[in-house]
Amino acid sequence: MRRMVLTVLAGCSAVMLAGTAAYALQAGGVEIGDLETGSVVGQPFKELTVDMEVYATEVGNLKVLYPPTSILDLKVRPGTPVVIKVTNKSAVDRGFLMTADGNAAAPTVLRAQVILKPGETKYVGVPLSDLLYATTGNTLVYQDHLNPKDPGGKLYMIK
């Protein structure tokens, strides 16, 4: 009996440790990858529509993410995941961090973070249920976490 309890506890610990490294939220969480091999909740990125494109670029001495504002109407879309294409058009590594504006430190908040090499493109896939239920409010902010003082942007969601 004691051995069974220890085995169950060890299994629970393994599950808890495995969950801390992932971006797990309600429906599987944020997935980051490339177009050919990436997927979110079992759907390949290449089979999904890109809902938003963000470019890391430079304007003078500022490192910016363009566009500074995007709007995503979630009322008129099917239940497919949201896909965001992020491209680094700078000559240096750039970061992309997208999270809910109000409570970025909460363990269940939606959070996507990636570092892009010069010329690199990554895709961020988010299950629709995570956008609808895991975010408090209607705004996600994105910024270059490697250059946090430079301008980022906001994604406004119509729910």
pLDDT digits (tens, 9 = 90+) for 104-121: 555 667 888 999 999 999
For residue 49, the model assigns a pLDDT of 92
What is the DSSP-derived secondary structure letter of residue 35? Answer: T
| pTM exceeds cut of 0.85 | no
In the chain, the domains with their CATH numbers are 26-158 (2.60.40.420)
Bridge partners, 122 (sequence order)? 86
pLDDT of amino acid 36 = 92
CA-CA distance, 88 to 56, in Å (whole number)?
A: 5
Residue 70 pLDDT exceeds 50: yes
Q: Where are the alpha helices (DSSP H) in the chain?
A: 2-20, 128-129
Average pLDDT of span 4-29? 41
Indicate whether 136 pLDDT > 60. Answer: yes
